[in-house]
Structure 1
Amino acid sequence: MGWHRELLTGFDLETTGTDPREARIVTAAVIEVRDGEPLGRREWLADPGVPIPPDAVAVHGISDARAAAEGRPADQVADAVADVLTGYWQTGVPVVAYNAAFDLSLLSAELRRYGLPSLRDRLGGREPAPVIDPYTIDRTVDRYRRGKRNLEAVCAEYGISLDAAHDATADALAAARLACAIAGRHPKVAALGPAELHRRQIEWYAAWAADFQSFLRGKGDASAVVDGTWPLREPAGEPV
């Protein structure tokens, strides 16, 4: 039947910024999806403990005042999200995240920031897996397609409705549906088991990063470095 017809878990974060080492969680969503249809969801609003920059507010609409008044402490949200995700991994359910290296690395940084057990700690030392990242898969199976590769653009390419972009729940559902649509269009992706697909994405992301780094250096940026680690970049050094 294929993994895309089975239970999947869509995951998304909306945050204070674009650097996963420094940005904080503002909202989070985890949504169960089977054959593209939502079954249940969990949502969180955090008080990130730092001012939310105006450009981030413009993206997701969560103000400092609302986060302070309605949000849970950031450490509690990070802990709860990590527990939910690791619960799915422990039962073999894939977690789907668009540009997973951002969301999972940011969550990992938050756990470290608050002295909480890492994702690996919660999984008894094993890697968080399987992860399915429509961004990485689409960029590989349709490498030469022109245009943007953000969630809205790729949803449009595959006919996935995304009415509230940058709402964590809407984005998590769209990511899961997009994974199903990509598998439907590309039978070779659908035929891979989740564990093998996870392994392939590690290779695909590393290959893309190496190519992009070469491109940047060829354009004159001799010091350009593109991290090819997927899906989780563990934070280094002291928490920021």
Structure 2
Amino acid sequence: MTAPQLSFDELGTPLREVTFVVLDLETTGGSHQRDAITEVGAVKVRGGERIGELATLVDPGTGIPPNVVALTGITTAMVARAPRLPTVLPSVLEFLSGSVFVAHNAPFDAGFLRSACERHGQVWPRPPVLCTARLARAVLPRTECRSVALGALARHFGTSTQPNHRALSDARATVEVLHHLLERIGNLGVQSLEELLALSRESSAHRPTQRQRQQRHLAAAVPSAPGVYLFRGPKDEVLYVGTSGDLRRRVRSYFTAGERRRRVRDMVALAERVDAIVCAHALEAGVRELRLLSAHKPKYNRRSRNPGRTWWVAPTAEAFPRLSVVGSGREGALGPFASQRAASAALDTLLDAVPLRRCTQRIPLRAPAAGRPAPCMLHELGRCAAPCAGLQSPEEYAPAVATWVSLVDGAADAPLHALAGEVDRLAARERFEEAAGDRDRLVSLIGALDRRQQLAALTAQPELVGARPDGRGGWELAVVRYGRLAAADVARRGVRPMPVVEALRESAQTILPGDGPLHGAPPEEARLIYRWLTTGGTRLVHCAPWSEPALGAGRWRAWAEKARQNTESARTTVHALTDPEPASRHFR
């Protein structure tokens, strides 16, 4: 029975605990699509000690060309009585199992063996593959060794075995070259197999800087657990904040070729230490990351440029309210929007359906007749009742404000029907580009309304307790109060979850509701919690009645999704889709 191959997690084991099988093949010079192997030589090593060898000639079933005989010394007569490849292959695979496959120009040797497995019904074990030629190019500067051919490296290091194009001799020489290279990489901070394989794959263009490699010690004390990590600079300032399901693996990746962002490389060069905050699960890690970004505004996080900055569309506080874009979520506002531009676009769309005034002047409740301006062109076009000119009283203006409030709160969706009808009319008149533009603006507005109504319903809840399967027979638990995470924990497999839930509720942070449509909850945190609660099989263990409005934007989700897919061309017919079905969304 073959031993199991190395798992991905085991690739992080120290090099002294890794078993390497250094292998070399001699062939007839033909393609790997047919049996061309004439000799196999392999040496198994671990911790610098040789623990086994395998060597055999192989009958390829054809004659060996004279030029290959001259190179290797292997003749057709020598392999005539040797076993065929189907007989040799199981022994080679068993010798290789559970080890790292090493070869000089490894793609060549691995390609021949992989193709042989396919032809002869064997399962290729997919071992980790290390190429000593690529490793040498990554470790040795060209000024020290211009060529990375096996013979050149053997002479450079003065190996006791010199390669001679015979499989076992070449494998033994490759073992010595490998050990010399492993001695060199210690100075680069490479101590695990994962780091060694990453180093061998690095191209010169993306090779980590010397400073990156020197900084690898910063990951030494970081645990392998979910949570948040903070890179700190020379003055203990927070340079960068991130989150991961495996903190150690993620932090170590910053010191390899996988990290190619110049901005982050500069950050790594400045870092003095890495702090790790272990979290119960991904939701807690995500929330902590958001809070740390807001608190520290780290220089190297792009999200720190305007952490937590959102925009809203809100009515002004005056006798004849109008809509304006504001930077805070006051009561009755629509949002949040990620940019002022997005909020302004939503405002323009709203004014096509809600009969609020478009002008920005402040209109007093009672203005003297002599000081009133003449009605503007919008009044002549029938799009404004001209309260500025005294032609509309506050009582007559109030229904427009009520329409806005009903739309935002999800009590009515007549304005959305009006906007969808206008898309229909433009399409019917074959004004397809205008129809497509109005359709896209309506889709954006529906998304904003849906988001606001979802988060408003969530953040109104005094307490929710969610339980999500962790994929290992246990549960991830979270206590949410007014849209903010108050506590998090896990109930491992075999542990009764309800006692853990009750203890978590008793120890959870006390959170009081704030002002505004989201009751003081940060929008990004509320969105993150909403996604966690409504996806991934999360169950609600405890909550008051939680629902979204029956006439809210949620009933337009299917319409919006179909509209998003209707992007074939400007002349695509944009007929209105099926009217949404009225249905509220309840959470139990």
Q: How many aligned residue pairs are there?
A: 194
- Structure 1 residue 142: deviation in Å? 2.2
For residues 53 and 206 of structure 1, do their structure 2 counterparts lie closer, same or farther at Cα, with a shift above 3 Å needed?
farther
Q: Report how far residue 205 of structure 1 moved.
A: 9.3
Deviation at 1:134, TM superposition (A): 1.4
User: CA–CA distance in 1 between the matches of 2:190 and 2:105?
Assistant: 22
Check the 8 A contact 2:139/2:184 in 1, yes or no.
no
Q: 1:95 is aligned with what amino acid?
A: F
Task: Say if 2:66 is the partner of 1:54.
Answer: yes
C-alpha deviation, 1:149, in angstroms:
2.2
Per-residue displacement from partner, 1:128-154 (whole Å, max 9, x unpaired)? 21x332111111222424543211111
Secondary structure at the residue paired with 2:41? strand
Q: Provide the secondary structure at the position in 2 that maps to 1:104.
A: helix
> Are positions 1:159 and 2:158 aligned together?
yes
Task: Specify the SS of the correspondent of 1:72.
Answer: coil
Which of 90, 107, 110 matches 1:101? 107
- Name the Cα RMSD after superposition: 2.9
State the AA in 1 paired with 2:111: S
Q: Distance in 1 between matches of 2:117 and 2:164?
A: 26
8 Å contact from structure 1 (residues 96, 132) kept in 2: yes
- How far 1:101 sits from its partner (Å)? 0.7
Q: In the aligned structure 2, how far is the partner of 1:195 from the partner of 1:64? A: 42
User: Are 2:36 and 2:60, in contact at CA under 8 Å, matched by a contact in 1?
Assistant: yes
Kept after mapping to 1: 8 A contact 2:72/2:166:
yes
Aligned-pair distance for 1:188? 4.3
Match of residue 110 from structure 1: 116
Deviation at 1:35, TM superposition (A): 4.9
Aligned counterpart for 2:36 among listed residues 9, 19, 24: 24
Q: How far apart in 1 are the matches of 2:186 and 2:115? A: 36
Does the CA contact (< 8 Å) of 1:12 and 1:169 recur in 2? yes
**Cα distance in 2 for residues equivalent to 1:135 and 1:112:** 26
Amino acid at match of 2:184: R
Q: Which structure would you say has the larger RCO, counting Cα contacts within 8 Å and 6 or more residues apart?
A: 1
What secondary structure is seen at the aligned counterpart in 2 of 1:137? helix
Mapping for residues 57-206 of structure 1, pairs under 5 Å: 57-69=69-81, 71-85=82-96, 87=97, 89=98, 93-114=99-120, 116-119=121-124, 123=125, 127-129=126-128, 131-145=129-143, 147-188=146-187, 191-204=190-203
Query: Which amino acid in 2 is paired with 1:81?
Result: V
TM (norm. structure 1) is: 0.69
| Gap runs ≥5 in structure 2 | 1-12, 208-588
SS in 1 for 2:44: strand
Residues 84-104 of structure 1: CA distance to partner in whole angstroms, max 9, x if unpaired? Answer: 21x2x2xxx323211111101
Larger radius of gyration: 2
CA–CA separation in structure 1 for the residues paired with 2:35 and 2:157 = 30
Kept after mapping to 2: 8 A contact 1:60/1:166: yes
Cα 1:35–1:84 change in 2 (3 A) is closer
Matches within 5 A, 1:9-20: 9-17=21-29, 19-20=31-32
More off after superposition, 189-198 vs 164-173: 189-198
Partners of 1:203 and 1:147 lie apart in 2 by 18
Q: Deviation string for 1:94-126 (max 9, x for gaps)?
A: 232111111011111222233x2231xxx3xxx
**SS of 1:51's equivalent?**
coil
Q: CA 1:203 to 1:45, structure 2 compared with 1: closer, same or farther past 3 Å?
A: same
Contact 1:16 1:26 in 2 (8 A): yes
5+ unaligned residues in a row in structure 1: which ranges?
A: 209-240
Q: Structure 2 vs 1, CA of residues 164 and 133 (structure 1 numbering), >3 Å: closer, same or farther?
A: closer
Tell me the CA shift for residue 201 of structure 1: 2.6
TM-score of the superposed pair, with normalisation by structure 2: 0.30
Among the aligned pairs, what percent are the same residue? 28
Q: 1:132 is matched by which residue type in structure 2? A: L
Distance 2:37 2:206 in 1: 29
Going by fraction, where is helix more abundant, 1 or 2? 1
Map of 2:311 onto structure 1: none
CA distance in 2, matches of 1:48, 1:190: 44
